[in-house]
A = this chain, B = another copy of it.
Amino acid sequence: MVPMRSTIIHAAGDVRLDTIPDPTIIAPTDAIVRIIRTCVCGSDLWAYRGTEHTDEPHPIGHEFIGVVEDTGTDVALKPGTFVISPFSDSDGTCQHCTNGIFTSCEQGGFWGGLNRSGEQLGGAQSEYIRVPFADGTLVALDDHPDDTMLASLLTLSDVMGTGHHAALMAGVKPGANVVVVGDGAVGLCGILAAKRLGAGRIIAMSRHEPRQKLALEFGATDIVAERGKEGVAHVKELLGGIGADSALECVGTKGSMGQALSSLRPGGHLGFVGVPAGAPELPVGAIFSKNLRVSGGVAPVRDYIRELLPDVMDGTLNPGRVFDTEMSLNDVSSAYTAMDERTAIKVMLTP
């Protein structure tokens, strides 16, 4: 077994590129993927910042694209195939997968975490990764893409699919007035998704100039820099005092959830995809009295890869622009620092 390098989180603030044994085929449904590009996610920061406690060192990172290197005997995918991985594995056969909720797969789990069986899954900020249920998890491309496509393809692993999930859950319809709370990569992809679904007005709540700029380029029609009550007041002023038809909550904190809910008109839809941290609340009284629709969760991105891929391939959807920084996997620690200090929107890593 040849050793490979894989990012391990040892404690809050302590991520290291460690050398660990190369992954090998264990089950006949496994594949080994050589990772071509990976990246750091806003949700990786919950552990990095200690919001989520790290009990013992474990692999981290859940977004990757790569090339199939080896497969088990039951895998239809061929070695050499270029694949996009959702941020979780899924058997593709259980009732939840059949229902399209791949993230609730009876056997699956999240990269860097545990499968339902308790098995530790590899992390994506690595050179190689073992993919259980390869056929139920990976989405194959017909050909190897051009290098210029890699950034946009990598977003289909998580942030673009998650932004799309937010927009779908928020019921974005043609002509709708939409508010997007959160100017991280997911929020920015949420803007792209809302635009793609035909939103009329898209208000991006952002205080950071480079993100405001990208938000406008992605399709935002208005920027609201204020937060809290002032933010809600500004949104309502822009929308004739009524509030938004749809709100995309792309952060996961109490403040962002409150902001999104308060921005909605009666009968409005909230789509929330920010991983809950900092005790966000869904106030039943306010939801009841305003007849709100609240939907969200861990985006089942696998189907969205298939849905969004044609738009990425023909160049009409360019979510890869959320990667404003590129580094070598060797510099993964600096990538976390850049994300944590918000000097980068999102960092793409090349092993």
Seen from chain A, the residues whose Cβ lies within 8 Å of a Cβ on chain B are 95-96, 99-101, 103-104, 169, 240, 242, 257, 265-267, 272, 275-276, 280-285, 287-298, 300
Contacts of A242 in B (CB 8 A): 95-96
Contacts of A281 in B (CB 8 A): 284
Q: Cβ of A101 and Cβ of B295 under 8 Å apart?
A: no
Taken together as a complex, chains A and B put the C-alpha atoms of A267 and B169 apart, in Å, by: 11
9 pairs of A and B residues whose beta carbons are closest in the complex: A291-B297, A104-B266, A293-B295, A282-B282, A101-B267, A101-B266, A288-B297, A294-B294, A95-B242
Taken together as a complex, chains A and B put the C-alpha atoms of A169 and B171 apart, in Å, by: 13
Contacts of A104 in B (CB 8 A): 266-267, 289-291
Q: Cβ of B267 and Cβ of A100 under 8 Å apart?
A: yes
CB distance from A46 to the nearest CB of B (A): 13
Taken together as a complex, chains A and B put the C-alpha atoms of A267 and B294 apart, in Å, by: 12
What residue of chain B has the Cβ atom nearest to residue A300's Cβ? B291
Evaluate whether A101 and B291 lie within 8 angstroms (CB atoms) in the complex, with A96-B265, A282-B284 already known.
Answer: yes
CB distance from A42 to the nearest CB of B (A): 15
Contacts of A285 in B (CB 8 A): 276
Apart from A101-B266, A282-B284, A287-B297, list 13 A-B contacts with CB within 8 A: A100-B267, A101-B265, A101-B291, A104-B267, A104-B289, A272-B284, A276-B285, A282-B294, A287-B294, A288-B298, A292-B295, A293-B295, A294-B295
CB distance from A254 to the nearest CB of B (A): 10
Contacts of A257 in B (CB 8 A): 284
Q: Cβ of B296 and Cβ of A288 under 8 Å apart?
A: yes
The contact of A297 among B280, B283, B289, B300, by CB within 8 Å, is B289
CB distance from A177 to the nearest CB of B (A): 11
Q: Cβ of B276 and Cβ of A99 under 8 Å apart?
A: no
Contacts of A292 in B (CB 8 A): 295, 297
CB distance from A103 to the nearest CB of B (A): 7
What residue of chain B has the Cβ atom nearest to residue A291's Cβ? B297
Contacts of A276 in B (CB 8 A): 284-285, 288
Q: Cβ of A169 and Cβ of B282 under 8 Å apart?
A: no
CB distance from A249 to the nearest CB of B (A): 10
Taken together as a complex, chains A and B put the C-alpha atoms of A285 and B296 apart, in Å, by: 10
